[in-house]
């Protein structure tokens, strides 16, 4: 089945057009015209979402679970068409889009089953103590409640799993919050067909039309209007540090500040400990090369930094990584802008004092090829810019003199999504010393693996201290992400007849 976009916004159940247009820039296949969003359309969508909240926010968990499952069903019913336009717009291979679609529908179904269990409500009851002295205690009950309409920004690097019906949208809908999505201009056709799936599910479930709206991009003012509209109560965002920080500041400057759950950037450093490097340094090097170049390095958990103690074992690790990366051909990046930013990042690293080239290549237009650089611990500590993310398949090896300098590198890190230890039994003492530092720096700490491939499950944390994310107490992946869009409410001496059904 071939899908031809009509290029309109979905607002409160209606496909709306009639304004200015922008054209998509696919990696291959035809370009299409799409409507440019307006501030007035943002207001219309936000007002419809607020109206929908009075029914959807107080719907049953069973009804919301049915809606999430219906969205998954409707996405699967459009599977081939979604893959076709998704690969055209993003340049991602078919297998990647198929896997990402499975992840998208899988997390919708996971969230549906999770809310049916009810544990996420964190229900608590303190019984009344009428005879307590010197004063009686009233009965107090607590439960998490949805906060209201949520805005979600589509991500450039995950056109399905972090976009229109991705993790932020699924979490907000599971919590009971209507959603206004600001689509990403890198994949507007994919956003449109997924919005069609959500709207079909909404109609089948008999829900208020304001429960979901999609406003296409093409205008920076739309994003600003979304986060500043007084009816929007929280924002989910995955994107660049600069763009996310600007939106975060707007959220904080509102007359009523709101939470901005931004996942912004990370270099995901790996610490290679001596016994592990001596035993299997070449194996680690080859594994790192695969993770570093996966998907043209366009993963937020791309492990861009490897810290290793200098010596022959470290040299073997470097040689193996170089040989493996040399076999990786050019890969198409998500947009021309991302490809240009990758080359700029490459030039910034290559021109930094104390940095040496290990593997160079040639890339142009929308293509990316791997680059590998090496520096010393002293040069790293002297240049804060070496710790800034380069979005793409670029790796930097930091060779340190000893365990003490490795610890200084760890302490110097900004907030990260992940930190990884490669260790064997002989490295336990050094690993134990590093662990308190790494868990302060990252939301997820790994051993003997690679951080690409974020599992959607109950125990996952995909977030971390700033600048990895803007809220270190939250995750954008896994069932815990639902709690971002809830707030605790206490009910004191409320008669059972008027308590929320989930708390009675």
User: Known catalytic residues?
Assistant: 263, 300
Q: For residue 28, give every residue at least 6 positions away whose Cβ sits within 8 Å of its Cβ, in sequence order, or none.
A: 87, 88, 91
Q: What DSSP letter does each residue of 194-228 carry, written as one string?
A: HHHHHHHHHHHHT--GGGEEEE--S-HHHHHHHHH
Helix/strand/coil for 339:
helix
Q: Which residue from 269, 270, 271, 279 is spatially nearest to 425, judged by alpha carbons? A: 279
Task: Answer for the pair 386, 355: CB distance below 8 angstroms, yes or no.
Answer: yes
Spatial separation of the C-alpha atoms in residues 489 and 387, rounded to whole Å: 41
First to last CA, the chain: 49
DSSP β-bridge partners for residue 305: 396
Return all residues near 404 (Cβ < 8 A) that are at least 6 apart: none
Residue 340 CB contacts under 8 Å (≥ 6 apart), including other chains: none
Instruction: Give one DSSP letter per residue of 385-427, joined into a string.
Output: GGGS---SSEEEEEEESSHHHHHHHHHH---EEEEEEE--GGG
Cβ distance 201 to 74 under 8 Å? yes
CB 261 within 8 A of CB 235: yes
Strand bridging mode 21-23 / 124-126: unpaired
Distance CA 363, CA 117 (A): 50
Within 8 A by CB and 6+ apart from 125, the residues are 139, 140, 141, 142
């Amino acid at each position: 089945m071939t899908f031809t976009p009509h290029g309109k916004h979905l607002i409160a159940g209606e496909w709306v057009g009639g304004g200015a247009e922008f054209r998509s820039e696919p990696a291959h296949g035809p370009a299409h015209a799409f409507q440019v969003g307006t501030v007035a359309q943002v207001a219309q969508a936000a007002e419809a979402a607020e109206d929908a909240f009075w029914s959807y926010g107080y719907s049953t968990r069973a009804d919301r679970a049915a809606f999430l499952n219906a969205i998954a069903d409707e996405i699967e019913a459009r599977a081939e068409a979604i893959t076709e336009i998704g690969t055209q717009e993003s340049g991602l291979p078919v297998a990647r889009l198929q896997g990402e679609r499975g992840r998208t529908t899988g997390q919708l179904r996971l969230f549906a089953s999770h809310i049916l269990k009810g544990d996420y409500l964190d229900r608590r009851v303190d019984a009344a103590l009428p005879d307590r002295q010197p004063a009686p205690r009233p009965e107090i009950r607590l439960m998490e409640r949805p906060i209201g309409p949520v805005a979600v920004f589509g991500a450039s690097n995950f056109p399905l799993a972090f976009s229109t019906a991705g993790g932020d949208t699924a979490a907000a809908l599971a919590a009971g919050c209507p959603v206004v999505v600001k689509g990403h201009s890198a994949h507007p056709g994919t956003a449109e067909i997924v919005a069609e799936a959500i709207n079909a599910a909404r109609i089948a479930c008999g829900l208020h039309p304001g429960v979901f709206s999609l406003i296409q991009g093409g205008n920076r003012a739309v994003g600003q209007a979304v986060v500043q509209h007084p009816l929007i109560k929280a924002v989910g965002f995955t994107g660049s540090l600069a763009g996310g920080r600007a939106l975060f500041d707007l959220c904080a400057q509102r007359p009523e500040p709101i939470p901005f759950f931004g996942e912004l950037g990370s270099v995901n450093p790996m610490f290679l400990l001596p016994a592990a490097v001596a035993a299997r340094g070449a194996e680690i090097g080859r594994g790192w090369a695969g993770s570093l170049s996966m998907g043209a390095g366009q993963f937020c958990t791309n492990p861009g930094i490897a810290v290793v103690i200098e010596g022959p074992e470290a040299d073997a690790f470097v040689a193996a990584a170089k040989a493996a990366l040399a076999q990786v051909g050019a890969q198409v990046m998500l947009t021309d802008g991302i490809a240009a930013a990758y080359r700029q990042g490459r030039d910034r690293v290559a021109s930094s004092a104390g940095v040496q080239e290990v593997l160079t290549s040639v890339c142009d237009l929308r293509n990316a090829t791997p680059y590998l650089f090496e520096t010393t611990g002293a040069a790293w500590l002297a240049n804060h810019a070496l710790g800034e993310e380069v979005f793409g398949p670029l790796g930097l090896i930091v060779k340190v003199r000893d365990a003490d300098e490795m610890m200084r590198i760890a302490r110097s890190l900004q907030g990260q999504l992940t930190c990884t230890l490669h260790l064997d039994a002989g490295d336990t003492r050094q690993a134990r010393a590093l662990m308190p530092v790494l868990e302060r720096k990252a939301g997820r700490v790994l051993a003997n693996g690679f951080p690409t491939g974020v599992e959607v499950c109950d125990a996952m944390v995909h977030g971390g201290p700033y600048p990895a994310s803007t809220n270190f107490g939250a995750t954008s992946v896994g069932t815990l992400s639902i709690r971002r869009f809830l707030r605790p409410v206490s009910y004191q001496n409320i008669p059972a007849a008027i308590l929320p059904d989930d708390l009675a």
